[in-house]
Amino acid sequence: MMPKKRISPDLVVRYIIYVNAALFIASLVVSGRDMEISLNPFSAFSPSTNALIFLGATGTIPINQYHEWWSLVSANWLHGSLVHILFNMTALVQIGPLIIHAFGTSRMFIIYALGGTAGFYLSYLAGVSLTIGASAAICSLIGAALYFGKSRGGEFGRAVYKQTSGWIISLAVIGLLIPGINNWGHGGGVVAGIFLGWILGYNERKLENIAHHVMAGICVILTLGVLTWSLVAAVFLML
């Protein structure tokens, strides 16, 4: 009898990357001729603002003017340029496996989904007019890693805490130097990640249970539902 193959927990990171890539391609298609193609690497292959709004960018404009509260979810999966998505997905590849190792696959996705939504909600409350990107969700993973390192202690815990503290300092410096960075979303994601890491627990203190799996499943269904709705709505608006 052949042994069953175990599914790598890192697959969740790949799936997140695939969905982000698919939404980025969709945003370029929706943009059509309005897509920006330039020699500037920071703006090359940039979707139009209208396309991003159609697909679920969030902020005071979509929420206050169009009552699109679901955009707090969809905005986590949209990006403003090729460099933007490459930078965020590279960061996800670095932090994602650590969180999966410490918290498990289900709790990792819960932190990613809820933390990103919370980060964008804080930026909405702060008056950010239009924002997108996976960075709020990724910052929630960084926040969870910060909590894990501080709570666990020991040589490994201190190493994780030191590394994630460095990431947070780097994010703060970049946010101050580069205009257009959603510092409220980043900060909200970090705080949400710390809270979720504390409330959900990590493997060395509490193994994942059925409640975590059910909650993660709900997050997956709601996320896919929102993204499907945003794609369908964008197609109808194009017609």
Contact 134, 76 (CB under 8 A): yes
Report residue 233 as tokens.
């709505």
Contact 45, 28 (CB under 8 A): yes
The pLDDT of residue 39 is 59
Percent helix, strand, coil in the chain, to 5, is 75, 0, 25
| In the predicted structure, residue 3 carries a pLDDT above the cut 50 | no
The pLDDT of residue 9 is 65
Please compute Rg for the chain using Cα positions: 18
- pLDDT tier, 32 (very low <50, low <70, confident <90, very high otherwise): confident
| In the predicted structure, residue 38 carries a pLDDT above the cut 70 | no
Question: What would the mean pLDDT of 129-137 be, rounded to a whole number?
Answer: 97
The share of the chain scoring above pLDDT 90, in percent, equals: 81
Question: What would the mean pLDDT of 199-207 be, rounded to a whole number?
Answer: 95
Question: What would the mean pLDDT of 68-73 be, rounded to a whole number?
Answer: 97
Phi (first) and psi of residue 36, to 5 degrees: -90, 125
User: What are the tens digits of pLDDT across the range 220-229?
Assistant: 999 999 999 9
Q: Is the dihedral of CA 133, 120, 182, 91 positive or negative?
A: negative
The pLDDT of residue 1 is 41
Question: What would the mean pLDDT of 37-53 be, rounded to a whole number?
Answer: 81
Closest CA to 95 of 160, 3, 33, 30: 160
The pLDDT of residue 81 is 94
| In the predicted structure, residue 2 carries a pLDDT above the cut 60 | no
For residues 69 and 133, what is the distance between their CA atoms, to the nearest angstrom? Answer: 16
Name the residue with higher pLDDT: 14 or 6: 14
| In the predicted structure, residue 108 carries a pLDDT above the cut 80 | yes
- pLDDT tier, 237 (very low <50, low <70, confident <90, very high otherwise): confident
For residues 146 and 151, what is the distance between their CA atoms, to the nearest angstrom? Answer: 8
User: What are the tens digits of pLDDT across the range 206-216?
Assistant: 999 999 999 99
User: What are the tens digits of pLDDT across the range 53-64?
Assistant: 999 999 999 999
Q: What is the distance, to the nearest Å, from the Cα of residue 216 to the centroid of all Cα atoms in its chain?
A: 15
CA distances from 83 to 142, 172, 187, 218 (A): 21, 19, 22, 31
Question: What would the mean pLDDT of 178-194 be, rounded to a whole number?
Answer: 94
The pLDDT of residue 115 is 98
The pLDDT of residue 16 is 97
